[in-house]
Amino acid sequence: MARNLTTLCYMEQDGAYLMMHRVKKEKDINKDKWIGIGGHFEEGESPEECLLREVLEETGLTLTDYRLRGVITFLTDGWQPEYMFLYTAEGFTGTMHDCDEGDLEWVPKEKVPQLPIWEGDKIFFRLLEERQAFFSLKLRYEGDVLKEAVLDGKEKLV
């Protein structure tokens, strides 16, 4: 079975996250949703190499201060399992440019849950705010509906 490895980063500045509104690609599992910055590993990349490359490609920014916060396991009936390395970043340099995958916007943290985001993303946003410790989160979807969420292999959240 093929493995689908990705990174996702929530860059933070002045109480806001840099979010991407995925509106520019027709065939996009995230079409019209708001997500962080990231993407798929290239052959031989470490999670950090993937993170740094994807952030630079999508935003024009170079991360200088970032931290691995968790691993998210996505299961769904619509695509292969995905294992996502979730980061937050507070330091970066450069000038932001437009992205060909979506519109980039700084969104105040308290407004993020009101955006069209995946149901499971609301769980990991809460964990990012509440927990300093590394976490593992398993999310199982049927279509677009979150059917199961398990934290650290033992605590059922959904």
How far does Cα 62 stand from its chain's mean position? 17
Distance CA 99, CA 60 (A): 9
- pLDDT of 122: 92
Average pLDDT over residues 92-114: 92
The residues, any chain, with a CB within 8 Å of residue 122's CB and separated by 6 or more, are 113
Domain ranges of the chain: 4-156
Q: Residues 129-147: what's their mean pLDDT?
A: 91
Q: How far apart are CA 24 and CA 22, in angstroms?
A: 6
**So what's the pLDDT on residue 29?**
62
pLDDT at 31: 62
Q: Say how far apart CA 32 and CA 24 lie, in whole Å.
A: 9
pTM exceeding the 0.85 threshold for the entire prediction: yes
pLDDT value at residue 35: 86
pLDDT digits (tens, 9 = 90+) for 21-47: 866 666 656 666 888 999 999 999 999
Instruction: Return the CATH fold of 4-156.
Output: Nucleoside Triphosphate Pyrophosphohydrolase (3.90.79)
CA separation for the pair 15, 17 (Å, rounded):
7
Locate 8 and state its tokens.
């996702």
Examine the pLDDT at 2 and tell me if it is beyond 50. Answer: no
User: Binning pLDDT at 50, 70 and 90, where does residue 140 land?
Assistant: very high
Q: Are 55 and 63 in contact (CB under 8 A)?
A: yes
| DSSP states of 89-138 | EEEEEE-----SSSEEEEEEGGGGGGSS--HHHHHHHHHHHH--S-EEEE
